[in-house]
Amino acid sequence: MNKTPLADWIRPQTLSEFIGQDHLMAKNGIIRKLIESDQIPSMIFWGPPGSGKTTLAYIIANTTNSKFIHSSAVTASLADVRKIVGQAKERLKLYQQRTIFFLDEIHRFNKAQQDALLPHVEKGVIILIGATTENPSFEVIGPLLSRSRVFVLERLKKQELKKIVERGLKFLKMRISTDALRFLIKMSNGDARTALNALEIGSNLSSRKEISLKLIQEVMQKTNLLYDRAGEEHYNTISAFIKSMRASNVDAALYYLARMVEADEDPLFIARRMVIFASEDIGMAQPTALVVANEVFRACETIGYPECAINLAHGAVYLAKAPKDRSAYNGLRAAQTDVKQHGNLPIPLNLRNPETKLMKNLGYGKGYEMYPSKNQSLLPNRLGGKRYYRPN
């Protein structure tokens, strides 16, 4: 029995079949131009689940003259990367053919694995196309990111999702009631794969050639259990985790942490939010919280699941029990408000460095004191003695 998912059966093969991402794929869209000219650079597709990242990679595979290799960072090892690079070198040397290496979920690759790709991307041995649902600024090492174009994909619009669902219905030779279609599109939240998976399950369960609202509601309940981790519940759970630590409720923090661990949430995603929390909510009340949070992040990066769940629990309990002080965070936000409102106000002359004789003659550095009175304001004149940091 063929178990190929519906989403793969109807995956677009050409540019004309692709739906959505008009800012990248319209007639004058940058990705369309790159594909049509066969000038593919290393790039990162960043966008929510089901927005077309993998489909775009396959369209490139069907239109490029390069060798196309698809791998997932979930299963690929460092040895796999080295093997792919070795074959790419031979291909380039013997046939002058370049290799496009599509790496799905690139955020799952650790620093060592990404470092292994860097010199080969830099030399053009491979063209890397990475796909990620996470912010590449945090998940992709700086040198690799600087050598890649980052393209942001958006959640699919309702009309775009409707077209994709209609394509799936045509393939399945099924119909769907108007209210069921409306419900399916709403609950899929711009995720084409979620919509198509639900549609496929619904067609398998339907005794007729039409999918009803009641049936699709039952299917979506099951589908949400399978795909919630990439949807709203993903954000609801991390929000509850942070708010539980903010309330110093250790038991609630551990419960929401456990839910994320059991859902196989990326431990670095959880640890990163804990690092932010340590400065934002604990701050000056217990400055060592940042040290602890950073060490938890480092432990997760080094150890990984399942053991790093213990490190996360250790950090969660510590942060939840720590005293809270948002004065540093609030001070920063207040200062940012003034910067946005007033722009780049002139820096007082006494704080400017007199690099040249002309600057000195203009008064740069005049009257500067290395250790001035604590009551002396060093802010631009327009702000006077304004205070941003107000300790609890």
pLDDT at position 233 is 66
Q: Angle 192-205/213-227 helices, nearest 10 degrees?
A: 130
Cβ neighbours for 125, distance < 8 A, ≥ 6 positions apart: 85, 88, 89, 92, 99
Q: What pLDDT tens digit does each residue of the chain (392 aa) get?
A: 457 889 999 999 988 999 999 999 988 899 999 988 888 899 999 998 899 999 999 898 888 878 899 998 888 888 898 999 999 999 999 988 889 999 999 988 888 889 989 999 999 899 999 999 888 887 899 999 999 999 999 999 999 999 999 999 999 999 999 999 999 998 888 899 999 999 999 998 887 889 999 999 888 875 544 434 444 567 788 999 999 999 999 999 999 999 888 878 889 999 999 999 999 999 999 999 999 999 999 999 999 889 999 999 999 999 999 999 999 999 999 999 999 888 889 888 988 998 888 888 889 989 888 888 777 888 998 898 888 998 87
| Structure tokens belonging to residue 289 | 């919280």
Predicted local distance difference test score (pLDDT) of residue 222: 52
CB contact at 8 A, 57 and 42: no
pLDDT of 2 reads 54
The confidence score (pLDDT) of residue 225 equals 42
pLDDT value, residue 112? 86
**Predicted local confidence at residue 290, as pLDDT:** 97
Which amino acid is residue 73, in one-letter code? A
Q: Where are the beta strands (DSSP E) in the chain?
A: 43-46, 67-72, 99-104, 126-132, 149-152, 175-176, 210-211
**Is residue 384 within 8 Å of 345, Cβ to Cβ?**
no
Question: 40 and 201 in contact (C-beta within 8 Å)?
Answer: no
What is the C-alpha to C-alpha distance for residues 81 and 86, in angstroms, rounded to an integer?
A: 9
Alpha carbon separation from 130 to 61, 107, 137, 176, 303 (Å, rounded): 14, 9, 13, 35, 24
- Integer Cα distance of 236 and 229 in angstroms: 10
Q: Report the DSSP beta bridge partners of residue 72.
A: 104
Question: What is the 3 state secondary structure string of 303-371?
Answer: HCCCCHHHHHHHHHHHHHHCCCCCHHHHHHHHHHHHHHHHCCCCCCHHHCCCCCHHHHHCCCCCCCCCC
Say what the pLDDT of residue 334 is: 93
What tokens does 202 get? 């619904």
Q: Helix axis angle, 308-321 relative to 267-277, nearest 10°?
A: 20
Residue-range domains of the chain with CATH: 21-152 (3.40.50.300), 158-229 (1.10.8.60), 232-321 (1.20.272.10), 337-383 (no CATH)
